[in-house]
Structure 1
Amino acid sequence: MSKGIAYESDRGCIIVAAALLDKQLEDSIRKHIKRFSVSKSLEKSLFDLSGPISNFSAKISICRSFGLIDEIAYKDLMILRKLRNSFAHEAEGASFTSASVRQKVKSMHFVQHCMKELEIDRYNYTEKPKEENKDDTDKKHHPKMLEEWKTLADGFLNYDKVMFCFAVDELEYHIKHYSNLGIPPPKTLSQGIKEIKKSKSQTAKD
């Protein structure tokens, strides 16, 4: 998992993740450009602040249009782009505890994949008794939410944030492999981790 972004603030995690994948897309484009003997000055002008592919959105579109990424990577990158934009400009709701953020994160292909493949222990929050829920209209003071905030303050990581960080690694690996060979990797990182764990478990039993 990308520990460097996992322990960033939620806003920092999303923004840095987008920057890492922006760099990966740029590397893929630059490698593709070199096949056509483009001058260094022209290549540089493409990525300058006023250049045609200077921003994240343009790089995503260019990479998809030229077959450097597939549709799976494209859709996940577009979700990340929207998250990055909202986190960069909104003071409220820029958190993995936000329902709308969780929904977007969980819609990412590689997040779903990591949730399926990786066995991560989760903290079980206690639900508020039904009888106490009747007169409680202030969601900010819901015990389950307060308990979640406390576990975060104690240094535990939000589950959706952890899965997002794993997914960033998966997405970066997927992009590298696809842009180089034109096909997805035969095995994802999380599948490899799962096989290693299974192999070690089997060895321990023997």
Structure 2
Amino acid sequence: MWRVGVLLVAGCVGVWLVGSGSAEEVRPPQPSPAEAADIAAGGAGIAPLTGSPPTRIRIPSIGVDAPLTGLGLERDGSLQVPPTDDRNLAGWYRDGTTPGAAGTAIVVGHVDRAAGPAVFYRLGAVRRGATVEVPRADGRTAVFTVHAVEVYDADAFPDERVYGPARRAELRVITCGGRFSPGSGYRGNVVVFAHLTGTR
């Protein structure tokens, strides 16, 4: 699934920003360099959980509380993106690691759509130390702590850094961001890096 980052940019063109005629004034927040960190930061975390499908994602610091839908791969090997008819819907890669299990779990969502901001519009405002909660089908909630928030241009997207394997339970939350062009939309991705630090 190494092409996910590139294809997510292509599927998120900023149609609301283009239609508003005021891209600079309504641009979603972007992470500052101060939020970047070594991806191994934050210690070992806690022991991973067994696998169980996630049902929601909550990021209290930015007001996200959204259902999750399973996403597969397109014929070209790229990750599907969530449908745009529900602004508060995110997706998780159902053939990969489930959030809370050992490895790197992937959650993606749109930053905006034609009608306005979407579920991860404020993802770039997340700060290190914030929590991400993922309720699961087994009744447990995996609680992650953010250890980095970064933005990458599409032509320099670090596949291994974002999607590579991990021994502890890690989570990546991804949306579009970075440079914006009215002609081609967003030219990068905002990525939140987090690791499992608790359960409920």
TM-score (norm 2): 0.24
Looking at CA atoms only, which structure, 1 or 2, has the larger radius of gyration? Answer: 1
